[in-house]
Amino acid sequence: MNTAAAFADFRRYPLIFALTAARPLADRVQVTWADGRTSPFHHQWLRDNCPCPQCVYSVTREQVLEIIDVPEDLAPAATRLDDEGCLCVDWQDGHQSRFDPGWLRAHAYDDQSRAERLVNKPKSQLWRRDLQLPVFDYRTLMDDADALLQWLLAVRDIGLTQVRGVPTEPGSLKLIAQRISFIRESNFGVLFNVQSKADADSNAYTAFNLPLHSDLPTRELQPGLQFLHCLVNDAEGGESIFVDGFAIAEALRQEDPEAFAALCEIPVEFRNKDRHSDYRCLAPIIALDALGQVAEIRMANFLRGPFDTSVEQMPRLYRAYRRFIALTREAQFRLVQRLEPGQLWCFDNRRTLHARNAFDPATGARHFQGCYVDRDELLSRILVLQR
Amino acid sequence: MNTAAAFADFRRYPLIFALTAARPLADRVQVTWADGRTSPFHHQWLRDNCPCPQCVYSVTREQVLEIIDVPEDLAPAATRLDDEGCLCVDWQDGHQSRFDPGWLRAHAYDDQSRAERLVNKPKSQLWRRDLQLPVFDYRTLMDDADALLQWLLAVRDIGLTQVRGVPTEPGSLKLIAQRISFIRESNFGVLFNVQSKADADSNAYTAFNLPLHSDLPTRELQPGLQFLHCLVNDAEGGESIFVDGFAIAEALRQEDPEAFAALCEIPVEFRNKDRHSDYRCLAPIIALDALGQVAEIRMANFLRGPFDTSVEQMPRLYRAYRRFIALTREAQFRLVQRLEPGQLWCFDNRRTLHARNAFDPATGARHFQGCYVDRDELLSRILVLQR
């Protein structure tokens, strides 16, 4: 058995409990494990997941078999456990499949196994103003894969990190972002320069204060991670402010479930337009996942279009929107910190709202660079580092 | 009144019906139009959408006012229609707002106005094998903004187009994709080369047949548009096959609503992994929009992970999945065409599934290049061209 090809995967699946029995039933094989758990596997599922080189191309580790090419009622002629503890199935049409017990346990879909996987999923750690800010060192992140993994886990689970010791040459940001993956381009470029400009095409490029927001809520998929790198910061003001949008959404859910529901249900349009582009996205401010957990915040008052909901819903939406903004202004949620040259913020743009106090360009120069990396890239890099 | 600043927008809002009356009510102003329609506008909504230069920064056309900074019960001291037909509101706190009637009608949220906007939204045109393929000429698209708009509307509404007369130098694809916007990068590069490779990291880079699929279903946001450009095609076989995934989903909904529901409800994991990346995305095969219309298809059998649903749901999922694949194999849905050098496909990757027949690398060279552009960019370019 070629184990590498057999998994169609780069993960390892250690043996946790051995298989002790395999019992054929009408539409499934029911296996029993050394800890007493029983797991049913339907015939279609087993045939579909056959890891043999005829069914999975070993170079790409991608499936070649399409399940529709075997009969819907295909059943085993025989099932047994072999000397290495694998589940072997001889199919009625002569095909043979062999399943590693570590892999099989990791993919078992009895209720208990599924519940176990759910419990083991990474969880967001909510925070308020007293967050112990996770701080990392640039040089270490560039050299050390373990440190890199710790940083990326903090970004994933806490959603706000700071990196220090970053070179202050323009473009340096690229090198550290690319420790994760390629940069997500936008109409503002691959890297964007946050400076006060006379012909600003975004309020970000003025000296105004910016209220708490996510970047590019005008796109179907808001950028996953945002980097903000300080090159020069001689101007008075311009402190960075962060809040955990998930913590605020949960606080709203507690104190005013009706307002929370309105922000989950009523879509709002965000717009970003200039001479060359016109982006619009209609989506609720709070998105929930399949389990009802807060999964995403979409918010930027300065990019919002006129509310468009029914006459009955309009007062409900305004009440909820006002309450949400009021919460973002409460000191208990707000982490305020001035970024110094050579420091950068890396945060979850779909969770951690960011703001900037107004600054006074007459008092000195201020130059930040920013870029985006998508959440797919973060999660992929974490999985590769964890192999 | 500075009209440009007043709209916070680059669109024009022609006057369709004049305002004939404005009646103040307890929490709203109710206006009447020349066609007899009445539209209520809540006080909060009107104040929030004040277009004056204090509320909207005229350079960026972005809102500066945050509605929470005015009292929740702020009401007008007076409302009137002025000589130019605008709605003028004098607020109790002294602020004044003035609303253009064209803009106001375009944003009215009475039931009738909202229903009208819904009806006028672009609709997908479903197709089968007898589609009159929309074909465009490369040179014309590069030179002529009207032709460009017609092409992009066909991509948006039909989801499959062909462009001819494209130079066959590697990289030429970039120029036409950039007529829309920047290219969306992936782990396969900015442009990807579809050629048979010994060390393939995807079945796409073999000579195998590829069943009907969307590209990168392993990412949270599947790429919106896919380009496939033929540089060389001397090998036998390798014909392109397309089906309208929306038409197939609708056919499934008609013939087997239970199977359709299973594919809308039960999430499936797609995986794409190699030595350097490990992408996973869990989502249903058919996604619906808020109105229950089919909005997206996510499908690639060769990138699918083992189904992970409850023991009760597993047979239901297999039955639905088999039926969906069976429909994609029906000749009535399949448009089959060999791409010749200098031609390219541009299609909606989230709707139009594509496949390739196996080809024989021994009979000649075959070299395609591909790239992605996101739907946000397509829709933005269309809006700008329509201004």
Instruction: Please give, rounded to a whole number of angstroms, the shortest distance from the CA of B199 to a CA of chain A.
Output: 7
**How many Å lie between the alpha carbon of A254 and the closest alpha carbon of chain B?**
21
Residue extent(s) of CATH 3.60.130.10 domains in chain B: 135-386
Calpha distance B67→B74 (Å, rounded) = 11
Interval B43-72 mean pLDDT? 94
What is the pLDDT confidence band of residue A7, given thresholds at 50, 70 and 90?
low
* Half-sphere exposure for A32 (CA within 13 Å, toward CB): 7
User: What are the structure tokens assigned to A256, written together?
Assistant: 């005013």
pTM of the model: 0.94
- State the residue for tokens 């020349």: B34
Give the lowest-confidence range in A39-48, A52-61, A331-340, B3-12.
B3-12
> Of B260, B270, B269, B256, nearest to B294 (Cα)?
B260
Nearest to B311 among A110, A182, A201 (CB): A110
pLDDT digits (tens, 9 = 90+) for A121-157: 999 999 999 999 999 999 999 999 999 999 999 999 9
Q: Does B121 touch chain A (CB under 8 A)?
A: no
All residues at 6 or more sequence positions from A159 whose CB lies less than 8 Å from its CB, including other chains:
A124, A244, A246, A347, A348, A351, A352
- Which pLDDT belongs to residue B76? 97
Q: B68 and A326: CB-CB below 8 Å?
A: yes
- The answer to whether residues B381 and B141 touch, using CB atoms and an 8 Å cutoff, is no
pLDDT digits (tens, 9 = 90+) for B128-178: 999 999 999 999 999 999 999 999 999 999 999 999 999 999 999 999 999
What pLDDT, on a 0 to 100 scale, did the predictor assign at position B311? Answer: 98
Q: Under a CB-based contact definition with an 8 Å cutoff, are residues B225 and B378 in contact?
A: yes
Instruction: Write out the residue limits of the CATH 3.30.2020.30 domain(s) in chain A.
Output: 2-120
Beta bridge partners of A38: A32
Lowest average pLDDT, out of A46-50, A88-92, A119-123, B314-318, goes to A119-123
CATH code of the domain occupying B135-386? 3.60.130.10
Interval A245-268 mean pLDDT: 98
Q: Which of residues 330-359 of B touch A (CB under 8 A)?
A: none
Whether the per-residue pLDDT at A6 is higher than 60: the answer is no
A379 contacts in chain B (CB < 8 Å):
279-280
With beta carbons under 8 A apart, name residues in chain A contacting B100.
Answer: none
The C-alpha of A199 sits at a distance from chain B's nearest C-alpha, in angstroms, of: 7
Contact A285, A263 (CB under 8 A): yes
Instruction: Among A162-171, B126-135, B215-224, B353-362, name the one with the lowest average pLDDT.
Output: B353-362
Distance from CA of B132 to the nearest CA of A (A): 30
Mean pLDDT of all residues belonging to chain B: 94
Per-residue pLDDT band at A57 (split at 50, 70, 90): confident
A275-311 pLDDT, tens digit per residue, is 899 999 999 999 999 889 999 999 999 999 999 999 9
**Which pLDDT score is estimated for B2?**
41
pLDDT exceeds cutoff 60 at B276? yes
Cβ-Cβ contacts under 8 Å, A45 against chain B: 306-307, 314, 318
Do B211 and A302 make contact, defined as CB atoms within 8 angstroms? no
CATH top-level class of A2-120: alpha beta
Rounded Cα distance, B176 and B172, in Å = 7
Q: Tell me the average pLDDT across B341-359.
A: 96
Q: What pLDDT is recorded for position B368?
A: 95
Report phi then psi at B331, rounded to 5.
-60, -35
B279 CB neighbours in chain A (<8 A) are 376, 379-380
Across residues B184-202, what is the average pLDDT? 86
Q: What confidence category does residue A196 fall into, taking pLDDT thresholds of 50, 70 and 90?
A: confident
| A197 pLDDT more than 50 | yes
Q: Would the pLDDT of B5 be above 60?
A: no
